[in-house]
Amino acid sequence: MSVLDGVSLLLAVGLFIYLLVALLRADETRSGHAQL
């Protein structure tokens, strides 16, 4: 596994987590109350 593969994998995972968090936060604001 080369360095470039590791970097691209890290970027893909980071982007996925970012979108997931964005969706969850949008869902919370739409429902009107935070689950925390």
Are 28 and 35 spatial neighbours (Cβ–Cβ below 8 Å)? Answer: yes
* pTM of full prediction above 0.95: no
Tell whether the model's pLDDT for residue 36 goes beyond 80: no
Return the closest-CA partner of residue 24 out of 10, 11, 12, 35: 35
Task: Give residue 34's pLDDT band: very low, low, confident or very high (50, 70, 90).
Answer: low
pLDDT at position 32? 64
| Residue 34 falls inside a structural domain | no
Residue 36 lies inside a defined structural domain of this protein: no
Answer yes or no: is 15 within a domain.
yes
CB 34 within 8 A of CB 28: yes
Q: Is residue 2 part of a domain?
A: yes
Write out pLDDT tens, residues 1-33.
799 999 999 999 999 999 999 999 888 777 766
The reply to whether 33 falls in a domain is: no
pLDDT of residue 1: 73
Q: How many domains does the structure of the chain reveal?
A: 1
